[in-house]
Structure 1
Amino acid sequence: MAIEAGIDLRTYRDGNDLLTAGLGADGLRSAAPPAFANADAPTAEELRRRAIWANWRGIADLAPGGGYGELYGSLAPVPGREYQALVRLPGRKQPHRVLVQVPDNFDLQARCVVVTASSGSRGIYGAIALAGAWGLPRGCAVAYTDKGAGTGYVDTADGRGIGLDGRVAAPGEPVELSVPAAPAGDGVAPIAVKHAHSGDNPEADWGRHVAQASDFALQVLSLAHPDAGPWTPGNTRIVAVGVSNGGGAVLRAAELPDTGIDAVVAVSPNILRTGSGRALYDYSTEAALWMPCALNAAAYDGVLLARPNGGKSPAGTARCASLKSMGWVQADEPAAQAEAAREHLLSTGWTDEAIAAGVLSVNFDLWRAVNATYASAYARAGVDAMPCGFSFAVAGPDGQPRAPTAAERAAWWSDASGIPPGNGIALRGGVEAGADPTLPGNQCLRALWEDAASVVRAGIAATQAGAPREGLPVIVVHGTDDGLIPEAFSGAAYAHGFASEGATLRYWRVRNAQHFDAFLGLPVLGARYLPMLPYGYRALDAAWKHVAEGAPLPADTEFATTPRGFADGAVPPLTPAHLGNLP
């Protein structure tokens, strides 16, 4: 394993800790992020604390009444040591960031490692609410990888990247994304984003990233507990877990030989099984074009977020008119056009439940942002050559590009999600004046999928998953209402397909659950949907009992949940009865 800059070791005790950075439940639940003493130059510890705060809030429902810390999960402080490095896969242009947390209560008798990959395109703490919160209180070491994505953004005006400690690095220091300076003359230099601009198509290597993080964990344990060595896969149990893109990453690791991984749990995974399912880029470019119109159909009249001020979405009506003008729908009336768009999505495998939950991605313009980022990654495009003319740049209040301030730039690593827009960075390009401004960019991105010979299609082909290695126990958990990564295209296709071929695989299907636990603090969503994390924790419990105690794997299960709804105008607290037959 090629380590770029040595291993950074830090100890967290006495008011700081591995799991909450000393914030505790109250600090993580605070709507205000932990402050920087000097916003232009935050310290490494301030950046770490804020990154942990941001990643907890981006994954888990910590709202009062949501059940976290009461029905599932723990926010108790866990003191210990943290080891971090930048490592590189052979032949790749950019490193990925790896981190291992070793709690003071590490159980030398159980010798447990939980290895994980960040959800979405998040930075290194992007799985702490699942892997860290389950593993650290149990005395397991937890190994993380950003899987080649993350928040190491670079302002190409000077090309200075993010160093190992999260700060903007000095010239010549190792960084997690290295791109050349590209001054823009009289214009504004674009922002380089690791997932989009690494030049490595990182998704094709997700499994190898996880395997390398697992290897790094054993190396770290040999440093942390040298007297208990040797540390090998043969004498240390390793459980891999991830959610969303992290779930896809651990499933890709499941197919590799000689990783030492003993069990895998994947929650809401983004995974493309060879021969079945649909690629994320396929259904997300489809959704970007059709879903705004479809959500105006009468079937979704009860989806409150799709009904601003109780009426139909004006943007959806405009998209329906565009579909009519292109000849994609034939009806003349907006209501009939919306129904035709809905029927089109249903014919390609979407469900009403997934479309209803997809309103989140429509309202946040998430489909277009994801598709522009992924198209660039699949094409291995440079920062100034993204497909369809897209680019990322800091935008002022007037929407015009400008140079970032020192404070904005300093906070990217801790605050960003890994896919702009956000944190002052805008997605530029692919729009035109008129009632339906995003249509041209979305059409261009879809055309890259429809062209079977495109470089984007070649990049996607490299991400297809093979079967888990023989005998490896795998539990896949997916929500029936997932509107970002629909189960039929991803988790269910993977699980049912490989189980039918003899894989040791179990599938847990959760009714009334969508993709984003973090949004359940909004009453309109908390009333309708249940969180996914409780099922991820239970699946980890079951996987651990199987590998450590020889207990049988649980059966395939469909969890009959009950939404909380509203009582006296408020969403009642989550109870075990809402979660159904959760073991």
Structure 2
Amino acid sequence: MSTPDRFGEVRVTTHRDGDDLLSGGLGLRGLAGTPAAFARPAAPTPAELRRRAIQGSWKGIADLGPLGGFGTLYGRMPSVPGREFTAFATLPGVRVPHRVLVQVPDDFDRTKRCLVVTASSGSRGIYGAIALAGGWGLPRGCAVAYTDKGTGAGYFDTADGTGVALDGTRAKAGEAPLEFEPAGTAPHAGIAVKHAHSGDNPEADWGRHVLQAARFGLAMLDRAFPDAAPFTAGNTRIIATGLSNGGGAVLRAAGDDEDGMLAAVVALEPNIHVPGHGRAFYDYATEAALLLPCALAAPAFDGVPFARVATAAPPAWALRCASLKAHGKLTAVTPGAQASEALAMLRASGWQDDALAVGASSTSLDLWRAVTAAYASAYLRRPVGRMPCGFSYHAQYPGVGLADPASAIVRAAWWADGSGVPPGAGVLLAGGTDLSLDPTLPGNLCLRELWIGQGADARGLRQGVEATLARLPRAGLPILVVHGAQDGLIPVAFSSEPYVAWLRASGRLPVFWKVPYAQHFDAFLAFPDFGDRHVPLLPFGYAALDRAWAHLAEGRPLPEDAAVREARPRGPGALTAENLGLPLH
């Protein structure tokens, strides 16, 4: 028998008359514009924070620009009035609560009861999957249940003892239940981030988070429509969907779904790892952080966007090659030969050239180091002030770079603007550096050693990663996996391809769309040259959800794998239906 769910007080809000569920009243043009303003920057209202969090989540996932095709080729942005139900939830056996949210549109279709359940992408907050799950589900009359899966920007500032209350505003510890309130922290230990510092290794429970959000969704539908209750998995179709880490979370939920709640699963670019197949994200990300900056100097990257963003003289790629040689990681003598050697090492470990080329964008943004520093802390269950490799998070005054304490204006915006993995939104990633010409190398070497080393911390980290392995879903569950062939952050060769092969070898029949010219970040397609070379992935996710719904509601057969092979780069103009090569309606 399942352990009962534990939910805190439920906050109910209505969103009509200039406000709505899908865009916070901003509409498509407003979502694509400048950040929604706060009337009082140091004390924004819950409504202002919510609107800006929704806007940031849309802009972080979708290409909403005039060339991107949203609202014309796929998706739409109607005003969707309705109610939101949100609470802090706790899983059995974990220490820290997480946030769940259900959006119930006024025009919820009671004749075809539909609940879309989703988990945030990356380490984003509760609205982190609205561009996928909300954008597809709300306009068609589905309710949408979200979980932040133990991540999010409910940052706790040890300098003043404040965190984030249920309504998104700042509150002192003890004054209200907080999204994250670490126990026993020393003053001025820095900024505590839920994903990195909860002590729970939340990734190990991402599947359980999704299933709990589905149960919360059913319970809130009972509350929203008591005359039509009860809402159950037997009378309400539950479709799980997510992208990136959220995609991995819904696939994990498919494996954890012992009660058969889920009717279908649609996962985009999932961060998924299965026993004996592919590679764990931490493994290939720490490898890329170390070697890719050097490899980018090789001729294979001539003309590649973001590959050689020179911020110093000599440029960063030459410095990294020299540093790796000095540490015995490379044997070649000349810079050109060192770059070729680093590239050969990446290829030998399974990296494909398309993924490496697009991975240059993550390298130029120092994303590999930022993400793996947080993940290492989570896997090792380290509290704030004791992150591995000397890392820590500290607040930054606007424009001056001084750490601790945060100004009231910076703190107030964290919940709406933070990504869940600093740096960003006025929080610095400190530590793991030295005063050399390649200052980030020590941290990257240390993070890599936690994967390949033999010490206690390395063994503990690998155990933490092992706890995140996926389980086999039940036979007959419709599963659709959509992944860009040129994904440079979660390469398809390390994640979706081995996962799908594992399912098929185990007698399952997943649908797998490997989309040519699609990469990981649709939001990056607004950059000139970069967008010219790719197609967005989100329209294929919407199309996969359409196919899953047609299968469930109308009995249509699931699509074939070959349905997306005609996609081709957008070019300098606006996205067209011919670029997608896929009938969307």
Q: Equivalents in 2 of 1:472, 1:46: separation in Å?
A: 40
* TM-superposition CA deviations, 1:334-359 (whole Å, max 9, x none): 11111111111011010111111111
What is the aligned partner in structure 2 of residue 462 from structure 1?
Answer: 467
- Residue matched to 1:473: 478
For 1:96 and 1:402, locate their aligned partners in 2 and report how far apart those are by CA, in whole Å: 26
Match of 1:161 in 2: 163
The residue correspondences of 1:462-501 to structure 2 (distance < 5 A) are 462-501=467-506
1:114–1:142 contact (8 Å) kept in structure 2: yes
Compared CA separation, residues 289 and 503, structure 1 to 2 (3 A):
same
Consecutive unaligned residues in structure 2, runs of 5 or more: none
- AA aligned to 1:211 is L
What is the CA deviation profile of residues 540-568 of structure 1, one whole-angstrom value per residue up to 9, with x for unaligned ones? Answer: 01111111111111111252322122xxx
Amino acid in structure 2 at the alignment position of 1:477: V
1:540 to 541, 545, 556: 545
Is the contact made by 1:199 and 1:382 (CA closer than 8 Å) also made in structure 2?
Answer: yes
1:563 corresponds in structure 2 to 569
**1:339-418 matched pairs, under 5 angstroms:** 339-396=340-397, 397-418=399-420
The reply to whether residue 174 of structure 1 matches residue 177 of structure 2 is: yes
| Contact 1:296–1:338 (Cα < 8 Å) also in 2 | yes
Aligned-partner SS, 2:171: coil
| 2:565 partner amino acid | F
Give the 3 Å change call, closer, same or farther, for CA 342–313 of structure 1 in structure 2: farther
Partner of 2:528: 523
Counterpart of 2:65 in structure 1 is: 63
Q: Is the 8 A contact 1:274 1:465 kept in 2?
A: yes
2:112 maps to 110
For residues 582 and 467 of structure 1, the distance between their equivalents in structure 2, rounded to whole angstroms, comes to: 31
For residue 532 of structure 1, report the CA deviation from its aligned partner: 0.4
Map 1:226-265 onto structure 2 (within 5 A): 226-256=226-256, 257-265=258-266
1:312 to partner: Cα distance: 10
Given that 1:535 and 1:582 are in contact with CA atoms closer than 8 Å, whether structure 2 keeps it comes out as: no
TM (norm. structure 2) is: 0.96
Give the one of 18, 21, 25 matched to 2:21: 18
Name the SS for the 1:524 alignment partner.
coil
* Mapped partners of 1:544, 1:275: distance in 2: 33
Work out the CA distance in 1 between the residues paired with 2:186 and 2:261. Answer: 46
- Aligned partner of 1:44 in structure 2 is 46
CA offsets per residue over residues 459-514 of structure 1, 9 Å max, x none? 00100001111211100011111110000101111112212221131110001111
CA-CA distance at 1:313 after TM superposition: 7.9
SS of match in other structure, 1:477: strand
Alignment CA distance shift 1:140-1:468 (3 Å): same
Q: Cα distance, 1:328 vs. partner? A: 2.3
Q: Does 1:213 align with 2:219?
A: no
Q: What letter corresponds to residue 56 of structure 2 in structure 1?
A: A
Letter in 2 for 1:38: R
Work out whether residues 19 and 132 of structure 1, in 8 Å CA contact, stay in contact via their aligned partners in 2. Answer: yes
Instruction: Find the aligned partners of 1:271 and 1:14 in 2 and give their Cα distance.
Output: 41
Q: For residue 530 of structure 1, what is the amino acid of its counterpart?
A: V
Map Cα deviations across residues 50-94 of structure 1 (whole Å, 9 max, x no partner).
Answer: 100110000000011210110011111111111101110011101
Post-superposition CA distance 1:389-421 (Å, at most 9, x none):
110001344544220011111100001111000
Q: Please report how far the alpha carbon of residue 529 of structure 1 lies from its aligned counterpart in structure 2 after TM superposition.
A: 1.1
Where do 1:402-441 residues align within 5 Å? Answer: 402-441=404-443
Percent identity of equivalent pairs: 57
Does the 8 Å contact 1:143/1:213 carry over to 2?
yes
Determine if contact 2:185/2:384 at 8 Å carries over to the other structure.
no
Question: How far, CA to CA, are the matches of 1:451 and 1:340 in structure 2?
Answer: 22
- After TM superposition, list the pairs within 5 Å mapping 1:52-201 onto structure 2: 52-170=54-172, 171-180=174-183, 182-184=185-187, 188-201=188-201
Give the superposed CA RMSD. 1.6
Partner of 1:224: 224
User: After alignment, is 73-82 or 323-332 more displaced?
Assistant: 323-332
Offset from partner CA, 1:185-233 (integer Å, 9 cap, x none): xxx4400001001111000000000000000011001011111122111
